[in-house]
C-alpha cells in the first residue's frame, strides 16, 4: 500500500522522484506528491489522481534541488484529495514527511498537538508526524533527535521518510512497512520497493523493523531507535531494469502474462532433474522435511489460491496439509507442534496479514518457510527458511506470472516433503518432472494460439461469469474468477464443480457463461456439472485439451496442452488470465490500476 521514494545526491531530484513514483504507482494511485529542497526552503506539490496529474502540476513551477521525497497514495485515512495527498508538512512548512502504514494512536497525538496550538489541514494519520517533529524542534532538540523522538511516539506500522528545511539530509525509519535503501556511488535512494530506483542502481539495503537511517551526500548511517550503530550490508538485486517497464505491451498485465514461460524457466532452473527423478531445492538437503507431520499454508488473495493449490498437491502426495487465509489465521489456526511446518506464501514478502500469521506460527513453535519473490523481504528474514520463485518484478496489480511460479514451486515442495516425510518417492514423479520441464514451452505455444480474445468478445455482455473446477482445478477456478472481477469490475464467482448444484445453480441463466476447467482429475463429474448448467441455458466454455470429450459438449473451447493432471490447471489458468485481460480491455478498464486495489497490502 502506497509508495515512497527519496533521493539525495547530485543532479535534479525532481526527475528522479517522478520516475520513482511512476515505477511505484502499482502500490497506490489515489494521489501523489513531491517535496524538494529548493535552496530557500521546502517546496511541495501534490495532487489527487495519478502521477500524470502531478507531473502536469509541477511543469509550471520551479522545484529544483538535489534532495527530495515523493509519495503515491492508496487511501486509508481520508479520501483521495489534494489535502490528504503526501507529503505532509508542519505549521511552519519546515518539515515534510511521507508515510506508509497506519498510526494507531494518531487521534490521541492529534488532540495533544492541537492543545499545544498545532493546526491540521488533512484527514490523514500521517500529518501528526511532521507536527510532532516540529514540536520537538521548538523544544530545542536537534533535527535528528526530534525525528527520533517523534518516531518513538508512534504506535502502529510505518515506513517514514522526513526532510527538514535547510538540511540536505533525509531521515527514515520502518516498523511493519517495507523500506529499502539504494546506493550508487554518491547518490542515494529511499523507497518502499526496489522497482522505484532499479534503473539507477541494483545495490540495495533492506531495512528491518526498528531501523533508523540518516542519508546525506556523504553516505548512509544505520542505527537502531536508541541511536546505536548497526550493520546493514547491501545486496545486489538480479532483476533486469527492463523488466520493470512495459516494453512493447500496452499493459503490464499482458506483458507479465507473456513473461510466464521465462518466469517458470527461472523458477525451475537447477531444481529438477527428470532423468534421476530428483528435486533439488536451494538449501534443503534430502531429509530436511522428514520430521514433518502436517503442513499449514497461509496466504491472501492470489497467493492464497496458490497455497490452496499447494495444499491439494501435498494431500495427493500423502502429506496432511491445510490452506488457511492469513487474515483468519489468528482465529482459526489449527494446533501446531514441533512437527508442523507453516508455509507463508507472499509475492512481495511484505503482506501484512501473512506476516502476522507467520509471526504467530513462529511464536507457537512451528517450523516456518516462506515462498516469496523478493530476496531480503520481511517474510524471507523472519521465516526459518525461504524458497524464492525467481519471477522477477511484477508491476501489474493483478498477479499473473507470480501465481504460476508459486504454484509450480509449491508442487515441487509437495513432492520433496512427501519424499522426506513419507520415505518414498511419490508415484507420479516420473511423469510430473518431465512435464514441469516442458511447462515454459507449453505456455509459450498456448499464448501464440489462444482464442481468449474472441471468447472475451463473445461473452462480454453477460450478467455474471462462473468458473468451476475439481481437485487442482478448484483453486484455478477461484483464481480465474478473482482475476476477472478485479480488472473487469464484472461479477464473477469460482466454485468447486460439485458445489454448483448446492446453491449457485439457482443463479444460472442464459447470461451466466460457465468456464469449466478439466485437469484429468474426475473430469466426467466436472462435465456432468457443466451439463447441469448448460441444460438451464448457461453457455459452457471448456478449458481442456483438443481431444477431450468436453469439446463435443461445450458451446466454446479454450485449448490447453495435454500434460500431467497436477499441471493442467496452471495451463488453464493462463487462458483464463487472457480472457480477463481482453474483457477488461474491451470494457476500457484501467487494467494495471484497478479501482480501490493496490499491489502490496502492507496494512491489516
Q: Residue 178: which region, alpha, beta or left (left: phi > 0; alpha: psi -120 to 50)?
A: beta
- Give the contacts of 108 (CB within 8 A, at least 6 positions apart): none
105-124: b or e for each residue (b if 16 or more CB lie within 10 Å)?
ebeebbebbeeeebeeebeb
Give phi and psi for 307, each to the nearest 5.
-65, -40
CB 80 within 8 A of CB 67: no
CB 470 within 8 A of CB 526: yes
CB 330 within 8 A of CB 357: yes
CB 34 within 8 A of CB 54: yes
Provide the grid cell at 206.
533492506
Catalytic residue among 2, 110, 175, 485: 2
CB 47 within 8 A of CB 85: yes
- Give the contacts of 232 (CB within 8 A, at least 6 positions apart): 181, 205, 206, 207, 208, 211, 222
CB 302 within 8 A of CB 410: no
- Give the single-character DSSP code of 87: P
598: nearest Cα among 181, 301, 305, 312: 301
DSSP 318-380: T-EEEEEEGGGHHHHPPP--TTEEEEEEESSS--HHHHHHHHHHHHTT-EEEEEES-TT-HHH
Catalytic residue among 46, 110, 255, 599: 599
Annotation marks residue 501 as catalytic = no
Annotation marks residue 525 as catalytic = no
Place of cell 499454508: 297
Q: What is the CA radius of gyration of the chain?
A: 25
**Catalytic residue set:** 2, 599
Amino acid at each position: 500500500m502506497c509508495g515512497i521514494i527519496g533521493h539525495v545526491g547530485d543532479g535534479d531530484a525532481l526527475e528522479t522522484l517522478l520516475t520513482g513514483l511512476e515505477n511505484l504507482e502499482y502500490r497506490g494511485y489515489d494521489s501523489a506528491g513531491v517535496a524538494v529542497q529548493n535552496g530557500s526552503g521546502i517546496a511541495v506539490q501534490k495532487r489527487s489522481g495519478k502521477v500524470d496529474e502531478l507531473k502536469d502540476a509541477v511543469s509550471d513551477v520551479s522545484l529544483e534541488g538535489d534532495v527530495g521525497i515523493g509519495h503515491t497514495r492508496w487511501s486509508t485515512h481520508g479520501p483521495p484529495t489534494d489535502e490528504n495527498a503526501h507529503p505532509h508538512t508542519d505549521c511552519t512548512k519546515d518539515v515534510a514527511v511521507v508515510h506508509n502504514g497506519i498510526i494507531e494512536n494518531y487521534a490521541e497525538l492529534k488532540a495533544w498537538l492541537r492543545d499545544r496550538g498545532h493546526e491540521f489541514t488533512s484527514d490523514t494519520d500521517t500529518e501528526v508526524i511532521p507536527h510532532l517533529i516540529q514540536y520537538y524542534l521548538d523544544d530545542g532538540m536537534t533535527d535528528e533527535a526530534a525525528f527520533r523522538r517523534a518516531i518513538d511516539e508512534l504506535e502502529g506500522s510505518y515506513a517514514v521518510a522526513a526532510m527538514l528545511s535547510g538540511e540536505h539530509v533525509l531521515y527514515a525509519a520502518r516498523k511493519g512497512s517495507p523500506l529499502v535503501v539504494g546506493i550508487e556511488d554518491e547518490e542515494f535512494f529511499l523507497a518502499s520497493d526496489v522497482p522505484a530506483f532499479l534503473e539507477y542502481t541494483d545495490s540495495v539495503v533492506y531495512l528491518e523493523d526498528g531501523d533508523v537511517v540518516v542519508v546525506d551526500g556523504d553516505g548512509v548511517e544505520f542505527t537502531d531507535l536508541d541511536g546505536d550503530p548497526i550493520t546493514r550490508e547491501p545486496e545486489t538485486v538480479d532483476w533486469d531494469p527492463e523488466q520493470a517497464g512495459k516494453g512493447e505491451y500496452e499493459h503490464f498485465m499482458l506483458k507479465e502474462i507473456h513473461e510466464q514461460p521465462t518466469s517458470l524457466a527461472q523458477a525451475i532452473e537447477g531444481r529438477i532433474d527428470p532423468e534421476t527423478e530428483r528435486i533439488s531445492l536451494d538449501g534443503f538437503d534430502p531429509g530436511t522435511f522428514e520430521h514433518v507431520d502436517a503442513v499449514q499454508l497461509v496466504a491472501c488473495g492470489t497467493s492464497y489460491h496458490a497455497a490452496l493449490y499447494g495444499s491439494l498437491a501435498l494431500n495427493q502426495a500423502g502429506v496432511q496439509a491445510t490452506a488457511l487465509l492469513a487474515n483468519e489465521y489468528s482465529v482459526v489456526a489449527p494446533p501446531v507442534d514441533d512437527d508442523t511446518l507453516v508455509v507463508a506464501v507472499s509475492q512481495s514478502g511484505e503482506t501484512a496479514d501473512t506476516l502476522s500469521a507467520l509471526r504467530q506460527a513462529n511464536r507457537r513453535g512451528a517450523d516456518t518457510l516462506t515462498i516469496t519473490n523478493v530476496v531480503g523481504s520481511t517474510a524471507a528474514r523472519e521465516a526459518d527458511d525461504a524458497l524464492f520463485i525467481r519471477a522477477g518484478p511484477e508491476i501489474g496489480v493483478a498477479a499473473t506470472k507470480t501465481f504460476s511460479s508459486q504454484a509450480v514451486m509449491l508442487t515441487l515442495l509437495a513432492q520433496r516433503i512427501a519424499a522426506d516425510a513419507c520415505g518414498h518417492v511419490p508415484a507420479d514423479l516420473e511423469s510430473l518432472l518431465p512435464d514441469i520441464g516442458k511447462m515454459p514451452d507449453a505456455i509459450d505455444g498456448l499464448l501464440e494460439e489462444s482464442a481468449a480474445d474472441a471468447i472475451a468478445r463473445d461473452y462480454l455482455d453477460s450478467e455474471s461469469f462462473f468458473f468451476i473446477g475439481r481437485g487442482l482445478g478448484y483453486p484455478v477456478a477461484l483464481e480465474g474468477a478473482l482475476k476477472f472481477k478485479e480488472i473487469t469490475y464484472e461479477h464473477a464467482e469460482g466454485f468447486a464443480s460439485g458445489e454448483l448444484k448446492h446453491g449457485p445453480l439457482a443463479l444460472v441463466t442464459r447470461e451466466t457463461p460457465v468456464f469449466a476447467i478439466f485437469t484429468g482429475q474426475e473430469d466426467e463429474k466436472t462435465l456432468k456439472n457443466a451439463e447441469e448448467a448448460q441444460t438451464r441455458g448457461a453457455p459452457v466454455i471448456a478449458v481442456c485439451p483438443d481431444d477431450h470429450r468436453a469439446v463435443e459438449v461445450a458451446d466454446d473451447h479454450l485449448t490447453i496442452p495435454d500434460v500431467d493432471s497436477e499441471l493442467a490447471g496452471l495451463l488453464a489458468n493462463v487462458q483464463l488470465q487472457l480472457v480477463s485481460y481482453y474483457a477488461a480491455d474491451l470494457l476500457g478498464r484501467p487494467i494495471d490500476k484497478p479501482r480501490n486495489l493496490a499491489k502490496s497490502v502492507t496494512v491489516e
